[in-house]
Amino acid sequence: MPPLLKIRNIVIEGQTGENWEPIVKGLDLTLHKGEILGLIGESGAGKSTLGLAAMCYTRPGCRIASGSIVFDGQELFGMPESQLRNLRGARIAYVAQSAAANFNPAHRLIRQYAEGPVQHGLMTTVEAEANAVAIYEQLLLPDPENIGYRFPHQVSGGQLQRAMVAMAMSCRPDIIIFDEPTTALDVTTQIEVLAAIREITARYDTAAIYITHDLAVVAQIADRIMVLRNGDLVEENDARKMLAHPQQSYTRDLLAVRSFAKKALDADSEVILDVADVTASYNGQDNVLEDISLQVRRGRTVALVGESGSGKSTLARVITGLLPPSSGSIVFQGEELPPAMKSRRREELRRLQMIYQMPDTALNPRQKIRMIIGRPLQFYFGLSAQEQEQRTLELLAQIELPEEYIDRYPTELSGGEKQRVCIARALAARPALIICDEVTSALDQLVAEGILRLLLDLQRKLDVSYLFITHDLATVKAIADEIVVMRDGRIVEQGPRNEILTPPHHDYTDLLLSSVPQMDPDWLDNLLAEREAA
């Protein structure tokens, strides 16, 4: 039987200024009916571009230069747009990473579901809406009869993602392209969506291309895996075989990611940050934080773990004084900090620095690195231009970037390099404590690992403390001395790392820990069976 989709020697180019540079460099891809193919790679690998090419679609600024895309016996490359339109949505559908951005905010969910089948002439509106309810039910969405009549902003992230899977299913396509559909979700929600995708593709025998940067996720879903890097194929194999016997060193690196862990340190250094009974709210009524008490010791790392909405970042805002608490106290190096940032002294500001999730938005794109790192040197220590330059060069050496970067702009740096500059900017103030807010979650796994190693190394040399906010438990294992688990604005459990990570766990900690995907193709099955039984 011929394959459902056969892409051969495809070259896709992206426009940079006047030139067209290849993004996908002559790849082949074959997909059979009902098969799930995992495309994995880091950002810039060309996996989304290749996935979209299966629909003969390119984003603005890209073009398919050559090659062939044969779907169900028809060549798509060169087919007129009007004919391609008949295939898109109807026979090949797409599920995007961010459901919140990909649903039209002006229309109700069910209307967006029904639009495809009605416009392609497959169903009447009434049929399509009845059908939507059935699919919503199969995807275990709550209240399937009525949920469709909500607007996208009225349902939670995980539900919206499942509603998008439902929408892709609306015409019963032969192929669905899943483009990082769980990357923006919490681990516990990710499991629901993964289970929903597996269930629905199996039920309708739908073939799928599943794009992700997370090998552990793709291991749960794919029959076959292609590893891509810089627009080239690294290796391709049956999923189980690849996990058991990776052939290429790059694949082995991806498999071994975050296998390192910090050595356990004794807890007897002095307390430098003491947060006591802090309660805070944004509107004066509903508390986003309640009775938070935690301590950070010199030269140690406290990891603050929790799902989105648990109040982790709000706590960082309270500690830095951006959001004064309604009650409670913050004692830093023996002195109580004024609640609001604007009443803190410069010296108090200096000792407490912050690094953010998005290095792209945290750095001013119109300032050179010299100025970005030089500014705190001048602000806190009043260094002259020459002293600033000398100190900036020292800092660049500490973050392992070459000296010539001093005259570059942020846009000339990669994501990991930008995050290193953010670290240097925080270090420039010679702080006692750095609050790291999800500093690795916007980065590729291998790059993130480099950043974590750098942070550990700096801690050893400079005896700086970290309050490390993250939703990623693998990161926690790698860097934390102590762990604080938060949920709904309260602390659920806190203690030394090994204590928290060793059973018996608190129920919620257990839910979080067991939800982290493992590099084991049977992990999801076992977990779902276990939870079913419990």
Partner 1 sequence: MQQWHFHPVVRLLAQRIGLGLLTLWVISLLIFVGIQLLPGDLADAVLGQSATPETVAAFRHELKLDLPPHIRYLHWLSGAVEGDFGRSLANQRPVAELIGWRFGNSLFLAGVTALIAVPLAVVLGLMAALYRNTLFDKLISTSTLSVISFPEFFVAYILIALFSVQLPFFPSIASITPDMGLGQKLYAVFLPCLTLALVVTAHMMRQTRAAIINILASAYIEMANLKGLKRMRIVVLHAFPNALSPVINVIALNLAYLVVGVVIVEVVFVYPGLGQLLVDSVAKRDIPVVQASGLIFATTYVLLNLLADILSILCNPRLRSPR
Q: Residue numbers of the site for partner 1 (CB under 8 A)?
A: 55, 57, 59-60, 84-90, 93-94, 96, 98, 101-107, 115-116, 119-120, 151, 153-154, 167, 285
166 or 423: CB nearest partner 1:
166
State the nearest-atom distance from the C-beta of 322 to partner 1, in Å: 25
Contacting residues for 429 by C-beta, under 8 A, at least 6 apart: 350, 351, 353, 376, 380
CA 195/CA 126 separation, integer angstroms: 28
DSSP codes joined into one string, 61-84: TEEEEEEEEEETTEE-TT--HHHH
179 or 437: CB nearest partner 1:
179
State the nearest-atom distance from the C-beta of 154 to partner 1, in Å: 5
Buried b (16+ CB within 10 A) or exposed e, 271-300: ebbbbeebbbbeeeeebbbbebebbbbebb
Q: How far is CA 125 from CA 132, 166, 172, 219, in A?
A: 10, 16, 16, 38
State the nearest-atom distance from the C-beta of 107 to partner 1, in Å: 8
DSSP codes joined into one string, 244-272: HS--SHHHHHHHTTT---PPP--S-SPEE
CA 374/CA 360 separation, integer angstroms: 18
Under DSSP, is residue 420 helix (H, G, I), strand (E, B) or coil? Answer: helix
117 or 431: CB nearest partner 1:
117
Helix boundaries (H) for 5-91: 47-53, 81-87
145 or 266: CB nearest partner 1:
145
CA 92/CA 169 separation, integer angstroms: 10
State the nearest-atom distance from the C-beta of 274 to partner 1, in Å: 34
Amino acid symbol at 517: P
92 or 221: CB nearest partner 1:
92
Helix boundaries (H) for 410-489: 415-428, 445-462, 473-479
9 or 86: CB nearest partner 1:
86
96 or 227: CB nearest partner 1:
96
308 or 498: CB nearest partner 1:
308
151 or 379: CB nearest partner 1:
151
CA 397/CA 405 separation, integer angstroms: 11
State the nearest-atom distance from the C-beta of 102 to partner 1, in Å: 4
CA 26/CA 51 separation, integer angstroms: 14
State the nearest-atom distance from the C-beta of 88 to partner 1, in Å: 4
State the nearest-atom distance from the C-beta of 315 to partner 1, in Å: 24
120 or 344: CB nearest partner 1:
120
Which residue has tokens 């356990």? 264
114 or 422: CB nearest partner 1:
114
State the nearest-atom distance from the C-beta of 127 to partner 1, in Å: 17
Backbone Cα Rg of the chain? 25
74 or 104: CB nearest partner 1:
104
For residue 376, whether the previous peptide bond is cis, meaning omega lies within 30 degrees of 0, is no
Distance of CA 465 to the CA centre of its chain: 25
State the nearest-atom distance from the C-beta of 57 to partner 1, in Å: 6
According to DSSP, the β-strands at 433-437 and 352-355 are parallel
State the nearest-atom distance from the C-beta of 114 to partner 1, in Å: 11
Q: How far is CA 415 from CA 438, 445, 456, in A?
A: 14, 12, 19
103 or 405: CB nearest partner 1:
103
State the nearest-atom distance from the C-beta of 304 to partner 1, in Å: 26
Element containing residue 344 per DSSP (H, E): none
Amino acid symbol at 408: R
152 or 415: CB nearest partner 1:
152
State the nearest-atom distance from the C-beta of 296 to partner 1, in Å: 35
State the nearest-atom distance from the C-beta of 91 to partner 1, in Å: 9
Which residue has tokens 């604005």? 489
Q: How far is CA 349 from CA 319, 384, 465, in A?
A: 11, 21, 15
State the nearest-atom distance from the C-beta of 71 to partner 1, in Å: 14
Distance of CA 207 to the CA centre of its chain: 25
DSSP codes joined into one string, 141-203: -SSHHHHTTS-GGGS-HHHHHHHHHHHHHTT--SEEEEESTTTTS-HHHHHHHHHHHHHHHHH
